[in-house]
Amino acid sequence: MKILHTADWHLGQTFYEYSRYDEHVRFLDWLRRQIKERKIDVLLVAGDIFDGPNPSAESQRLYYSFLRRVTAECPALQIIIIAGNHDSAARLEAPLPLLQAMRTEVRGVVRKLEGGEIDYDHLTVELKNRKGEVELLCMAVPFLRQGDYPAVQTEGNPYAEGVRELYAQLLQRLWKRRTENQAILAIGHLQATGSEIAEKDYSERTVIGGLECVSPETFSEQIAYTALGHIHKAQRVSGRENVRYAGSPIPMSFAEKHYHHGVVMVTFDGGCAVDIERLECPKLIPLLSVPNGEPVSPEAILEALKELPETEAVAPYLEVKVLLEEPEPMLRQEIEEALADKNYRLARIVSTYRTDVENTEKENENWKRGLQEMSPLQIAQSAFEKIYQVEMPVELTGLFEEAYLAATRKEEEEEE
């Protein structure tokens, strides 16, 4: 039984005022061909179908046209879709009765029973193989907002512990009902602790400070495969082969220009994920930065732009990084003139002032010198403030101190 794991489509996104409609059309056409040619049984979409909670009519037509066409071409295909933090959970789930006729299940809202208990049955989807037998039990958990997860008394992070408890309760129920040859599959849209994102790209974070980070231990070894969304860089979580982010199919920012975008194909047999393979999406529109490294003077920028090669194919998105001594009101016009006869899409001009660079370098040097005089906790707090521009929350401070004490005891025991 084969599944295809994808996420973070962000249909309707504009890239610095450029529509990405054609890129999304080409991606979905490619995805549909992969499903047909590779005889995929299940398509998992782990959230952020749309770029915002109120998608345009054009984006919705693209989404529903894809579902109609792919299910018509592949009559046995089953599709599971969960809502991400960019999606409107209720809007995404509203047409569920119609979508179920196309073997498509959508989970956006965490429903509650009369007593206020979570409706765990609604978060469970049975997936059948070609013999009509239930081979996979799927935990389809959308992005969880406050009130969606069980309240847990904890001195740690209440969000992380609540999410962990929800998955634990759901797994416990599925484990009791599974048979020997059935595998348990999980889908989620969240930020796992330790996942890698671009340092200066905040589009993937849900809350400043990472307070909604969830421990990878949330996903038990009893789960054969965990399909995650939210992080745009394809990666394994904590080195575990069967806990993965599929990543976005196209780059969402210049910080993602070097990512290898794609989907994940997983083959199940006898209740186990026996093969996991990444399928790389075709590169559609290149992202180019001039210069490729640190910003340079306006004169050097204009010279570099004049030397850019002609592009006969698709026009790349272009980011220009310039280092200024003072404001240059005519700079944009000069840049546009330098690109007038070239086939490039000027996406943005990033202006940095030399005084800012010098102050940052001085600050970094002082910070490094001060490390020798700081405690481990002070170093962690300083690094946190440097990245997130806010003080480290009390919850994280406590967790750090616990982890540091545990590590110190372990070292002392090993020395003895």
Q: How far apart are the first and last CA of the chain?
A: 52
Do residues 327 and 298 lie in contact, with contact meaning Cβ atoms separated by under 8 Å?
A: no
Residue with tokens 């797994």: 171
Do residues 191 and 214 lie in contact, with contact meaning Cβ atoms separated by under 8 Å?
A: yes
pLDDT of residue 371: 58
For the chain, how long is the longest CA-to-CA vector? 72
pTM of the model: 0.81
CA distance 213 to 35: 32
Report the amino acid identity of residue 159: Y
pLDDT of residue 152: 83
Q: Residue 34: which region, alpha, beta or left (left: phi > 0; alpha: psi -120 to 50)?
A: alpha
Do residues 380 and 392 lie in contact, with contact meaning Cβ atoms separated by under 8 Å?
A: yes
CA distance 371 to 121: 52
Do residues 46 and 82 lie in contact, with contact meaning Cβ atoms separated by under 8 Å?
A: yes
Q: What is the pLDDT along the chain (416 residues), one digit of tens a residue?
A: 999 999 999 999 999 989 999 999 999 999 999 999 999 999 999 999 999 999 999 999 999 999 999 999 999 999 999 999 999 999 999 999 999 999 999 999 999 998 889 999 999 999 998 888 899 999 999 999 888 988 888 777 788 889 999 999 999 999 998 888 889 999 999 988 877 776 555 455 544 445 578 888 888 889 999 999 999 999 999 888 999 999 999 999 888 888 889 999 999 988 888 899 999 999 889 999 999 888 899 899 999 998 898 877 889 999 999 998 877 888 899 999 999 888 899 999 988 887 655 555 555 565 555 555 567 887 887 777 655 556 777 777 888 888 888 887 766 666 66
Burial letters 48-78, b for 16+ CB under 10 A, else e: bbbbeeebeeebbebbeebbeebbeebeebb
Q: Which of 50, 72, 71, 70 is nearest to 60 (CA)?
A: 50
Torsion, Cα of 288, 289, 293, 294 (10° steps): -170
State residue 193 phi and psi, 5-degree precision: -55, 130
pLDDT of residue 209: 43
Between helix 394-415 and helix 376-388 the angle, nearest 10°, is: 140
CA distance 284 to 262: 12
Quick check: helix, strand or coil at residue 286?
A: coil
pLDDT of residue 203: 55
Q: Is the peptide bond before 291 cis (omega within 30 degrees of 0)?
A: yes
Neighbours of 134 (CB within 10 A): 14
Q: Which of 166, 233, 215 is nearest to 396 (CA)?
A: 215
Do residues 195 and 7 lie in contact, with contact meaning Cβ atoms separated by under 8 Å?
A: no
Tokens matching residue 54: 């109120």
CA distance 4 to 278: 10
Tallying the residues shown for the chain, one arrives at: 416
pLDDT of residue 293: 86
Task: Give 126's contacts (C-beta < 8 A, 6+ positions apart).
Answer: 134, 136, 137, 138
Between helix 21-37 and helix 57-73 the angle, nearest 10°, is: 10
pLDDT of residue 208: 40
